[in-house]
């Protein structure tokens, strides 16, 4: 997204936006590994880079967008960011199935996170269309566009 530009944090160390570490929050290494994969999907990151492009109908969507922007921030203070706010939103949305201090399954978290973001994106698009009284075809979410397979 930002090319190969290196940045210098307040601690003087160089880092590349997008290639930053994530703080481990007591047994949440499965979240960090999952996020490192998700933030490599260019279309998804571009969509969430601007908070004005996507409908914020849920705290999970808001926190996910914030984390994407922190990871890819060229003016970051250091080469690491904390997924704490996102993990709190995941904990609430999942009814404490995934929480800090408890090990979790990364595949289950991936399914949960993608489904939750997909549903919130669709919900937000419906609200926008209802407000604008638009009769466009049903919206497909950015999650569907980026993660749905294709048959050739």
**pLDDT, tens digit, for every residue of 62-80?**
899 888 888 877 666 666 6
pLDDT tens digits, residue range 98-107?
Answer: 988 888 888 9
Query: Which pLDDT belongs to residue 95?
Result: 92
Instruction: Give how far Cα 81 sits from Cα of 57, 71, 76, 119, 149, Å.
Output: 24, 7, 9, 26, 31
Alpha helices in 1-83 (DSSP H): 29-38, 42-49, 59-71
For 1-152, list the strands marked E by DSSP: 7-8, 14-15, 21-22, 80-81
d(CA 140, CA 138): 7
The model's pTM is 0.78
């Amino acid at each position: 997204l930002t090319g190969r530009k290196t940045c210098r944090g307040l601690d003087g160390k160089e880092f590349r936006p997008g290639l930053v570490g994530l703080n481990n929050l007591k047994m949440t290494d499965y979240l960090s590994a999952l996020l490192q994969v998700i933030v490599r999907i260019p279309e998804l990151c571009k969509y969430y880079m601007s908070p004005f492009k996507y409908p914020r109908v849920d705290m999970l969507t808001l926190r996910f967008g914030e984390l994407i922007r922190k990871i890819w921030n060229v003016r970051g203070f250091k080469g690491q960011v904390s997924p704490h706010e996102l993990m709190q939103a995941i904990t609430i949305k999942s009814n404490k199935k995934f929480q800090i201090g408890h090990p979790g399954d990364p595949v289950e978290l991936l399914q949960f996170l993608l489904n939750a973001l997909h549903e919130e994106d669709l919900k937000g698009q419906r609200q926008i269309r209802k407000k604008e009284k638009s009769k466009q075809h049903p919206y497909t979410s950015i999650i569907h566009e980026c993660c749905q397979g294709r048959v050739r």
